[in-house]
Chain A
């Protein structure tokens, strides 16, 4: 049992190291800004005195390493400094938006994961049939669509004049859970359609890879019905690649929300990031990028650990 814990601890340490290097990279990004940061903010009204004052206020007169650890120390405690655009604390801007983005990503995942697993198993069961061909071609098509294309088609069909769902998911006026689910349905459906195709294809490939192995042939020769062969015998061994694909897609969901949030005017982190990039509001961009990167690294870490745990051969290594 202990070597499992040491494996997890090892992976966690590696993940934290990655996260640390990523944070250095995101911080160094500011240093690459052409010209002086303080002059950039002041623009036309830059005099030597005001520039010096701004530099003192932002702590730019400190050495770089000191500033990095101050920034990181603040970030760990949830303090990301002040926005350059409106002087409000970044943490305040992020606050509820982080929750909204997580809500949307989880909502989409809750639909997409069971759906794509079921479809993947069905397609593997009826492989090389017309159903399989159609499902495969439509999956390939769905993967190649830009998110905004899917989103606008859904708006065209389900929203607009006499539509069933709102085309804007603003979440204004503090709606309750049911109302929130209703308003965020179209963005969640868009994300679902985008990730389901990929997950389904990978589930199919993972199961079909196994179907050639002798123990499956044995099960078939025993006269077991095909559904049982797949669910009972193939699926447990296909679990590791499937878990990996799910985690990669969840990580994708975290960042894929950016475009979808903009289309549906959903008040999430992605929209905040796009607005801040347009106004070059560096502290906000840094904070959001750090949050997204952290989620991405952690999900990949989780996938790594779970897929190792699902495979006895990797746990009891000789």
Chain B
């Protein structure tokens, strides 16, 4: 019976999500300029739902201190209080307001994941473009080192590096960014290798353009589209990796509110049938699903795949 009821809730949730996606798409088409409206018309319901969710998460992350009913680390009651009209989602293992922690978690977890992905991208694409442009020994040495780094599973490698450098937010960002930049490097290099051999690059070289100018002005604009699509996917991987590490107690450290560690701290409630600890995990899942839906739509459009 319990499972049947769950399935019913699930179906209701899907229907509500699709309705929200449809409404959001209709509103965006109505109010935005023609070019954007034309783009939006091609969006399937899943993608417009994804866009809506990404927008909501961003707003919550930016305005967290104004939305949250209590300060981030204040103890407002007993431990593990049930849901009531003061603490809407109850309290956690130390008696802090769950809803407040969820809202601040959007800022901390998503913010850190975003910063890490951005760093990984800057690092990976600069090195990748450099390897493709300079070629020769530079390309060889960078590519072979990336091969070696990629031969170690990323979770294991990050655990190894975190043992050495200790667990703090800064080391977390740097370690994950370096590990993920190897994947970005691969893509950036393979995309720009095909661009470098084109005639207009030859012409630019003959004009006497320097390496830096060549990379930023001639190659990067043509390599940008696949890199942007990859950014969405990479963000999902980084976000999941950071959440997993936080869940294991090795990522973002308390008392900073963070979704991964919130699941771990309150996990005991699940065996009593209380779903509160699943909310932060669900928040992680919802954001990754949303980003994936949007990326899927963009990739589908870019490749022109029909089947």
Q: Which residues of A contact B (CB under 8 A)?
A: 18-19, 21-22, 25-26, 29-30, 32-34, 127-128, 137, 140-141, 143-149, 152-153, 155-157, 159-161, 167, 208, 211-212, 251-252, 254-256, 258-259, 262-263, 273-274, 276-278, 280, 282, 285-286, 288-289, 292-293, 296-297, 300
> How would you classify the secondary structure of chain B's contact residues: helix, strand, loop or mixed?
helix
Contacts of A160 in B (CB 8 A): 270-273
Q: Are B244 and A285 in contact (CB under 8 A)?
A: no
Assuming A274-B250, A285-B160, what are 13 further A-B pairs, CB within 8 angstroms?
A25-B149, A144-B291, A146-B247, A146-B260, A146-B285, A148-B263, A152-B267, A208-B307, A254-B153, A255-B155, A255-B156, A277-B163, A293-B156
For residue B190, CB closer than 8 A to chain A, the reply is no
Q: Are A144 and B273 in contact (CB under 8 A)?
A: no
Complex Cα gap A178–B147 (Å): 42
8 Å CB contact of B272 from A161, A289, A296: A161
Q: Which residues of B contact A (CB under 8 A)?
A: 2-3, 6, 46, 147-149, 151-153, 155-157, 159-166, 236, 240, 243-244, 247-250, 260, 263, 267, 270-273, 275, 277-278, 281-282, 284-285, 288-289, 291-293, 296, 307
Complex Cα gap A300–B155 (Å): 17
CB contact under 8 A between A282 and B153, given known A147-B244, A259-B248: no
CB distance from A159 to the nearest CB of B (A): 7
CB distance from B157 to the nearest CB of A (A): 8
Contacts of B46 in A (CB 8 A): 137
Q: Are B248 and A289 in contact (CB under 8 A)?
A: no
Contacts of A282 in B (CB 8 A): 163
CB distance from B153 to the nearest CB of A (A): 4
Contacts of A137 in B (CB 8 A): 46
Complex Cα gap A266–B165 (Å): 27
Q: Are B164 and A152 in contact (CB under 8 A)?
A: no
Q: Which residue of B lies closest to A24 (CB)?
A: B148
Q: Are A289 and B156 in contact (CB under 8 A)?
A: yes
- List the 9 shortest-distance A-B pairs measured between CB atoms, nearest first: A144-B288, A149-B281, A255-B153, A144-B289, A292-B156, A145-B285, A277-B163, A293-B152, A289-B160
Contacts of B284 in A (CB 8 A): 146, 149
Q: Are B273 and A161 in contact (CB under 8 A)?
A: yes
8 Å CB contact of B164 from A32, A145, A148, A153: A32
Contacts of B2 in A (CB 8 A): 157
CB contact under 8 A between A146 and B272, given known A25-B148, A212-B307, A289-B152: no
Contacts of A167 in B (CB 8 A): 271
CB contact under 8 A between A152 and B152, given known A128-B307, A145-B288, A258-B248: no
CB distance from B159 to the nearest CB of A (A): 5
Complex Cα gap A140–B49 (Å): 14
8 Å CB contact of A293 from B3, B151, B244: B151
Q: Are B159 and A296 in contact (CB under 8 A)?
A: no
Contacts of B270 in A (CB 8 A): 152, 155-156, 160
Contacts of A155 in B (CB 8 A): 270-271
Contacts of B243 in A (CB 8 A): 146
Q: Which residue of B lies closest to A258 (CB)?
A: B155
Contacts of A19 in B (CB 8 A): 151
CB contact under 8 A between A262 and B248, given known A21-B148, A141-B289, A277-B159: yes
Complex Cα gap A282–B160 (Å): 9
Contacts of A263 in B (CB 8 A): 267
CB distance from B278 to the nearest CB of A (A): 6
Q: Are B250 and A251 in contact (CB under 8 A)?
A: no
CB distance from B179 to the nearest CB of A (A): 12
Q: Which residue of A lies closest to B263 (CB)?
A: A148
Q: Are A157 and B250 in contact (CB under 8 A)?
A: no
Contacts of A254 in B (CB 8 A): 153
- List 19 interface pairs A-B (beta carbons < 8 Å), by A numbering: A21-B151, A34-B165, A140-B289, A145-B285, A148-B244, A152-B277, A152-B278, A153-B278, A155-B271, A160-B272, A161-B272, A256-B155, A262-B247, A273-B156, A274-B250, A277-B159, A280-B166, A293-B152, A296-B152
Complex Cα gap A147–B288 (Å): 13
Q: Are B6 and A157 in contact (CB under 8 A)?
A: yes
Complex Cα gap A153–B155 (Å): 23
Best-buried of B6, B156, B248, B307 by chain A (most CB within 10 Å) = B156
Q: Which residue of B lies closest to A167 (CB)?
A: B271
Complex Cα gap A290–B156 (Å): 9
Q: Are B153 and A33 in contact (CB under 8 A)?
A: no
Complex Cα gap A149–B281 (Å): 5
CB distance from A10 to the nearest CB of B (A): 16
Q: Are B236 and A29 in contact (CB under 8 A)?
A: no
Complex Cα gap A265–B162 (Å): 22
Complex Cα gap A13–B289 (Å): 41
Complex Cα gap A273–B155 (Å): 11
Contacts of A127 in B (CB 8 A): 307
Complex Cα gap A255–B164 (Å): 20
